Each structure stands twice: as C-alpha cells, then as structure tokens.
Amino acid sequence: MAKEGLPSIYDYTLDELKEKLKPSFRAKQVYNWLYKKYANSYDDMKNIPNELKEDLKANYPIDVMEIVKKEQSIDGSIKYLFKLRDNHTVEAVLLLMKEKKKDEDGNIVRSEKFTVCISSQVGCKVGCSFCLTAKGGFVRNLTVGEYIAQIVNIKRDNDIAENKALNIVYMGMGEPLDNFDNFVKAVSIFSELDGLAISRRRQTVSTSGIASKIEKLGKIDLGIQLAISLHAVDDELRSELIPMNKAYNIASIIDAVKKFPIDTRKKVMFEYLVIKNKNDSVEAAKKLIKLLNGIQAKVNLIFFNPYPGTTYQRPEVEDMLKFKDYLNERGLICTIRESKGIDISAACGQLKEKEANGNS
C-alpha cells in the first residue's frame, strides 16, 4: 500500500485534476480508468504515457485502503473492513435492497438495487451509548479520497457495472458533519458525471444532530437528502443515548431541520433506533407525532441489534408494529427498516471490534 502522507488521486475533482495534469485531457482519461473501469493500478491505464504514469505513482497513489475482511449475510448484505495507510480500520456495508428479477425466458425485468453505507471517521466523537464505534474513541477524520475509495472498492469487488446507479448513505463509523469539508467535497466527487455519476439525490447524510452544522449544510444547499438520528422524544433519554444532546438538544435540531431546504418530492428521514423498554411505547409515539408536527417527515424504525457487552435489548416485534401503526394512522409516514445483515457483524463497529480482538 502507498505510504502515508501523500494525497490520493481520489482526493481531486475532475477540474482540480485538469489543473495538475497537462495536457488537461489526460485528467478525463485517468478519471475514466478510475471510476468507469475501477483501475487499481496506473499500469492498467493503457492510454496514459509511461512518464505520466510514473509521476502519478510517485505523487498520487490509488491504493489508499485495502479490504482486510468481509462478511456476507444470507440476505445478500456484505460488511467490509478496510485497512487504511496508517493501519487504522473503518467499515462500510453493501446492502442489497432489491434482488435481480427475471421473467420466464430469463430476461431481466428488474435489476438489483444497492445502497452503500460508508464511514466518515476512524472512531467517533459523539459517543452514543448504543454504538460499538464509540468504544474506541475518536482517532481522526477520513480524507476525501478515503470516502471515495470505499465506494470504488465495493463496486470493483462486486463487479457492479459503471452505469449501475446506487445509493450512498453517510452513516457508517463517525459523524459526517464533524468532518464537514471533506464530506462536502466527497459529495461533489461522487456526483461527477465523468466519474461515478452518483446523483446528489441518491446521497443521504445521516447525522446525530449537530444543529449548527445542519444549518450550515442547509445554506450551501448541496441537493442531498437529510436523515436525523433522533432515537428519543425527550432530552433526558436522548442525552443518555447521545451525550452530544446536552450541547444540541432536540429543540435545536428540530429548528435546524425546519430551515433545511428539502426537495418537494422528498422528506426528512428521522431514524429511530428502537430499544426495548426505553423508547418503544405508544406514549413515545404520541410525543414523536407532536415533535415532528410541521415537518415534511418520514420515520424509519430500526430494531436495535445487540452486540456483546451491551445492556440494551432488541424490542419485541409486536411493540414495533404498534408504534408504526400508531404513527401511520395519524398521517406520519412510518416504516420499519428491514434488518439487514443480522447474521453477521451488523452493529456499527462490530466487525472492527471482532478483528481487533482476533475473533473470527
């Protein structure tokens, strides 16, 4: 793997690369190799002159991370553990949302639909009590190139066609808005038409609720979707689950969301991790309706996935259904997220923790 410290070729927008590579048309050629053919070596770039290849190898490495472990679920999800140049590790997950469908003659009538959850940081500052990532503390932000390389590696590893659209959710390890500038630039590079061409409407940032950064993101109006990790309807419980709530309480988050520019065809997603006997009551559902009044909202209920050492428990299916039905019957769209990868290291940070402890 390339030595630490050098910028990655994935750090640059196409326009930036045109400034660095002369003649500038070489930049588009390199972009084509990187993002359409998923080249992982400059030697594979047949139409690039050798002199330029040597310069690129020396100054703009491609291999900024490598897959060190992956686990595949019976539902098709794959969880990846990537090792970075400084030997730290982060996770990403490929979720198969819909399988390929064929007719009786074997013709494809519907292609697969994928979502990839990617990480933003090594560790995390937020310190959520239900999250395994918090155990390791915060180490550093991911670079722009490390954002991009997660998607490229996963597309390459699964032979996903370059013109195959997928969705990105910034909700792996770390808080994306705590790595604001790199996150914003990554959104731009992902959406480059000459690159991965992942529409901004297909990109969703999931935040634990840094109200000031939500407002800042709203002002630059990136055109991406917003998801809020809410998980509680009162500040007492939310501060237990997400200590950062003491700095950015529920009221400040709701106020920031109301200012956020939303595509009229879309809604703000409120992620609600349901924990048994903590936030799974109909009374909590009543408070949630009141809290989200006036917001173009959708609620996504998520089963808590227990991991070794946690005191929190998975909720009963019956309680999840009561919660969902209560919201839907009163006009607040609510779905229960289908649990993906429950037979593998599904909880965020779990695969990293298993690898660190030498478990298989």
* Residue 169 · residue 117 · CB < 8 Å: yes
Tokens matching residue 179: 């790595």
Is 305 within any annotated ligand binding site? yes
E strands, 12-73, in order: 65-72
Is 231 within any annotated ligand binding site? yes
Give 101's strand partners. Answer: 110
Looking at residue 188, its amino acid is S
- DSSP 8-class letter at 149: H
Classify burial at 355, counting beta carbons within 10 Å of its beta carbon; exposed 0-12, middle 13-18, buried 19 or more: middle
Is 124 within any annotated ligand binding site? yes
Number of helical H runs and strand E runs in the chain: 11, 14
CA distance 121 to 11: 16
CA distance 153 to 196: 12
* Residue 185 · residue 150 · CB < 8 Å: no
Give 321's strand partners. Answer: none
Q: Which of 71, 334, 348, 353 is catalytic?
A: 348
Is 128 within any annotated ligand binding site? yes
| Main-chain phi, psi angles of 272, to 5 degrees | -130, 100
Classify burial at 83, counting beta carbons within 10 Å of its beta carbon; exposed 0-12, middle 13-18, buried 19 or more: middle
Among this protein's residues, is 54 annotated catalytic? no
How many Cα atoms within 13 Å fall on the side-chain side of residue 242?
25
Q: Which of 71, 91, 146, 353 is catalytic?
A: 91
- DSSP 8-class letter at 82: E
CA 246 to chain centre: 25
Tokens matching residue 44: 């594979």
Is 175 within any annotated ligand binding site? yes
* Residue 167 · residue 200 · CB < 8 Å: no
Is 229 within any annotated ligand binding site? yes
**Neighbour count for residue 203 (Cβ, 10 Å):** 19
Is 174 within any annotated ligand binding site? yes
Among this protein's residues, is 4 annotated catalytic? no
SS3 23: coil
Tokens matching residue 165: 């659209």
> Which residues belong to the annotated binding site?
124, 128, 131, 174-175, 206, 229-231, 305
> Which residues belong to the annotated binding site for S-adenosyl-L-methionine?
174-175, 206, 229-231, 305
By annotation, the residues acting in catalysis are 91, 348
> Which residues belong to the annotated binding site for [4Fe-4S] cluster?
124, 128, 131
